[in-house]
Every structure is written in structure tokens, then in C-alpha cells.
Amino acid sequence: MFTPIKLSVVCLGAAILLSGCGDESTIVIDDQTVETETVADTPDNKPSTEKKDQGMWGVRHVRNLFHSDDNDNDAKNEVTTTTTDDSISFSKTDKGAEFVEEKEVTVTERWNPSDAELQDPDYEYAKKAVRQGNYSEAKHLLLNVVKRHPDSTKAWSWLGDSHYNLLELEQAIQAYRKALTLYPENYFAMRGEGFARLHLGFDLWRSGRRREAHEEFRQSLKILQDCLRIYPGDLEAMYGRSLAAEGASRKLYQNAVSQLRRENKEMAESEARNCMEVIDEGIESARQRMYKNPDEVGPRSIAGGLFQRRAILQKTFNRLSSAVEDMEQAIKAYESILQISPDNYLAKAELKKCKSYLGKWEKELNAKPDTSTM
């Protein structure tokens, strides 16, 4: 029913995540560079409406959305793990990992909306246009279709896809929400909204609208968590959930550091705990994606960036031994990327940075006891 759109966001995800904890607004605590709390929301800081990246994220929710080399067997024997330790494994053969093989099931088998397929020529042309990448044409057709058939959850869902591929993210969210209002179990609309909010969050963050971005990340995280409860083997939802967790952790991370600077210890520790919980969610999703696609770079980039952020947060709160352990995991993630992609310059840069942190921290750890404040 749904034709794959040959797109990849692995490079985008890697660029975002391999930036680690770097940002244009930073402070130095205990010789470590960390992010500050906010960037002011100003009229000049608005998301770009430029459409040069049209279709970059894709949205027809296909198995190979994030990895163009995935084959048609990706929906078979999906792998999950029941491990709950804080470290991450990069191989299916790692000791202690327990895997649960799922029965063969595809997302499309869960698609069972209440309305029948529309008997409308424009609707059929619009679906074909989306599959061919003619999103503007599809959007104009579907805007007329939903006027004639306002109760069709399918038409609204396809309209959301058209808006999304045109990077009209707020309109996409509205269309997906309408589809879900009509049929709450419309899985494709649910996941579409999750990714649209994720993408909008990154746009808002880059423009400096951090509070709004954080809200979009948190909503995206919740939606994609719900998707995985419905369909645990959905690889795209796994990937999106890990990115949403990374995005949501940013503001919590900044808030924790800012409160610590102001000597609001109780608030700082609360924000730090929240940040750690969200980071752990992202790491677990990246872990599950890696188990399924061990040669994929994107989830390793996410894991490396999250371990790096968690390590610096731990160090800032004087949990030195835990910081060392997390930074070792970040190093392991970046090294695993270079085993797959030896010329990955971003991984090389972050690996060098992490090793520098680790060297300093190990010397400090040997020189004084660990005094945790969290």
C-alpha cells in the first residue's frame, strides 16, 4: 500500500548528535565547557521557511526510512532487549544481553481504520503523487478531498504527509491531529505527528526558541513512546524516539547547570535527574535500533552524544566515577562508528574530545575521592 521514499536522515542525525554538548552559549564549570540555560525568544529567531531540504525526513513511514540499505525482511524477527543496565552493548553477542524474537508482523497489518477507501479520483491521484514525490500537487488535491470528505481519516493522514514532506510542519501536525480525532488508532497519523513535532523541535532549537523546542521534543517523545507500545518492532519509531529524547534532554541539561550556578541545589538535582531519565530513554531506543541494524551509524551517533552529555552532567555534579564510566561508553560508541565508517570526520572529532575529557578525569579521580551531589 505504501511506497518507500528513498530518503535518509542518518547524516542529519549524526551532525546533530555528534555535536555532543557543544553550543554557541556555553559556560565553564570545573574546567568543563557546558551549555547555559536559554537563548532568548526574539522576533528575529524564527524557524526558516526555506524549502531547500524538501522531503529530507520522509514520512510515508516505511521500513527503510532511515537506512536505505534495509531490505524487505526488516519487519521480520524484530529484536528487543530486556536488559536495563546503564551501559550499552554494540554487538548481539555481548554477554548478558537477552533477546526476544517477535513474530512476523508489519505496521500495515495494524492499519484498520473505520472508513472505507474513498471513491474519489482526486484522492487516488493524490496518493500516487505522494508516492512519486510530487508533494505540492498532492497537497492541493487533498485539500479539495478533505473539503468533500471531512470525515476521512485516511485523506487527512495523506494530507499530513504532503505537508510534512514540504516542511510545512505546523500544517502537517494539524492534519495528523484531525486524522487522529476521527480515528485515534490511525497509527500512521500518530507516527507522522511524532516525527513532525521532532523536526519542528530541531527547527525551533536552531532558531533559538528553546522553550518551544523543548515542548515539541517532549510531545514527540511521548507520541513515539506510544507508537512503540502499539508496535514494539517499529524501527523508525525507535530511531525517532532516541532523537526526541536527545532533543528533550538539551533543555533539561541546560536548566540543571543553570540552577547549579545559581546555587539552587535542590532544583538543580531535580532537573539533572529528569535529564538523566530522558537520556536513558534515548540510549535504550538507540540500543534497540543497533541490535536490529548493527552496521548502521545513526543510532551509534545518538548513543555517543547522549553518553557524552550524561558524562559531562555527572562530572558537573561531582559524580566523577560515573562520569568516567559514561565517557568510556561514549568513546566506545564513536570507536564503533569508525569501525564501520573509518573516514567519519565527526566521529573522529568527538572521539578526540572524549578521550581528552577522559584523560583529565581519570587523573582527577586518582587524586581525590568522588563526592556526589545528585
| Axis-axis angle for helices 135-148, 153-165 (nearest 10) | 150
Each of the 374 residues of the chain gets a pLDDT tens digit; together they read 333 232 333 333 433 443 444 343 443 444 444 443 333 333 333 333 333 333 323 333 322 223 222 222 332 222 222 222 333 333 322 322 333 333 333 555 444 454 567 788 999 999 999 989 999 999 999 999 999 999 999 999 999 999 999 999 999 999 999 999 999 989 999 999 999 999 999 999 999 999 999 999 999 999 999 999 998 888 889 999 999 999 999 999 999 999 999 999 999 999 999 999 999 999 999 998 888 888 889 999 999 999 999 999 999 999 999 999 999 999 999 999 999 999 999 999 999 999 999 999 999 988 876 555 56
Q: Which residues pair with 81 in a beta bridge?
A: 99
The whole-number pLDDT of residue 232 equals 87
Cα(first)–Cα(last) distance of the chain, in Å? 51
Q: Which of 198, 178, 179, 197 is nearest to 188 (CA)?
A: 179
Question: What's the CATH number of domain 113-184, 1.25.40.10, 1.10.3720.10, 1.20.1630.10, 3.40.1370.10?
Answer: 1.25.40.10
How far apart are alpha carbons 145 and 154 in whole angstroms? Answer: 11
The whole-number pLDDT of residue 374 equals 61
The whole-number pLDDT of residue 370 equals 57
Question: Nine-digit cell at 199?
Answer: 523536526
How far apart are alpha carbons 281 and 303 in whole angstroms? Answer: 11
Burial of 110 (0-12, 13-18, 19+ CB in 10 A): middle
Helical residues (DSSP H) of the chain, grouped into ranges:
10-17, 121-131, 135-148, 153-165, 169-182, 187-206, 210-230, 235-261, 265-292, 298-316, 320-340, 345-367
* Domain segments of the chain as ranges: 10-36+56-112+185-342, 113-184
Question: Nine-digit cell at 254?
Answer: 541546560
Q: Which residues pair with 34 in a beta bridge?
A: 27
Q: Which of 256, 259, 248, 258 is nearest to 272 (CA)?
A: 256
40 contacts: CB under 8 Å, gap ≥ 6: 208
